[in-house]
Amino acid sequence: MALPYCLKILEEDLGDEFLQAVAFNLLYEGDHEKAKEIITRKLTNASTVLIGAIMDNLSTDSLQPFGESLSTEFLNAILERYLDLSDADKERIHDNYEWFKVSFEKKLSIM
Instruction: Tell me the pLDDT tens digit for each residue of 8-45.
Output: 999 999 999 999 999 999 999 999 999 999 999 999 99
Report yes or no on 110 lying in a domain.
Answer: no
pLDDT tens, 72-89?
999 999 999 999 999 999
Decide if 30 contacts 3 (C-beta within 8 A).
Answer: yes
Decide if 93 contacts 51 (C-beta within 8 A).
Answer: yes
SS3 state of residue 13: coil
Whole-prediction pTM value? 0.93
Residue type, 84: D
Of 7, 12, 51, give the one whose Cα is nearest residue 29. 7
Report yes or no on 109 lying in a domain.
Answer: no
Number of separate domains in the chain: 1
**What's the domain range around 17?**
2-104
Can you tell me the distance from the alpha carbon of 102 to that of 28, in angstroms, rounded to the nearest whole number?
20
The number of residues in the chain equals: 111
